[in-house]
Amino acid sequence: MNVEKIVAAKPDLIIADSLTTKEVVEQLASLGFPVLAIRAENIDEVLEHIELIGKATNNVTEADQLCADLRGRLDAVTAKIKDVAESERPLVFYEVWHDALMSAGPNTFINNILTAAGGKNAMADATTDWPEVDLEQLITKNPEVIVLGHDGQQPEDVKARANWQTIAAVQNERIFAVNPDTINRPGPRVIDAVEELAKIFYPNLFK
């Protein structure tokens, strides 16, 4: 952060996200600027923060309307997949990066989105939030769907990887590239991500 440029802009409000260090927040606050620090860990907190920002910017009506729309869309997905048994929900490997192979663990924002869309995170048993994944481990898990949450590779690249051909998702060509900005950033577009993933997981339910 360039604190001098922020100060020069003379903002009425500074919204700091999870990438902003505590030191920068405290420095800006000490200079007399109102700082609202937010860090969403799940979809519910994203909606709460939208409402909070609405209050901070005197746009309560607009924030409430947005949240109502987003909650309605989320509820619509939940209603469509509610009758899908746990045993029928697809095992999903979410690829954060391919070199080294990295995924999202159980305590991540991404895990929350995968679950909301009706999937089961293949790395839900990981002991870290962003685990590096051994190929042998992935082959053993044998995910039914692979979701690429980055711009580094496309489904064709995954199919061409050595020793990946035994994985169910590769055999059945259920490899999907999604817009990383919608799923990796805790903002209003996370509902876009839930909807997109639900359509990927259950194409027959979302015709």
Three-class DSSP category at 145: strand
168 near 143, Cβ under 8 Å? yes
| pTM of structure | 0.93
**Contacts made by residues 27-34, CB under 8 angstroms, sequence distance 24+:** 27/3, 28/3, 31/7, 33/6, 33/7
Domains present along the chain, CATH in parentheses: 1-37 (no CATH), 86-201 (3.40.50.1980)
DSSP E strands in 45-181: the ranges are: 91-98, 101-103, 120-121, 145-148, 175-177
135 near 170, Cβ under 8 Å? no
- pLDDT tens per residue, range 127-180: 999 999 999 999 999 999 999 999 999 999 999 999 999 999 999 999 999 999
Rounded CA-CA distance 152/186 in Å is 21
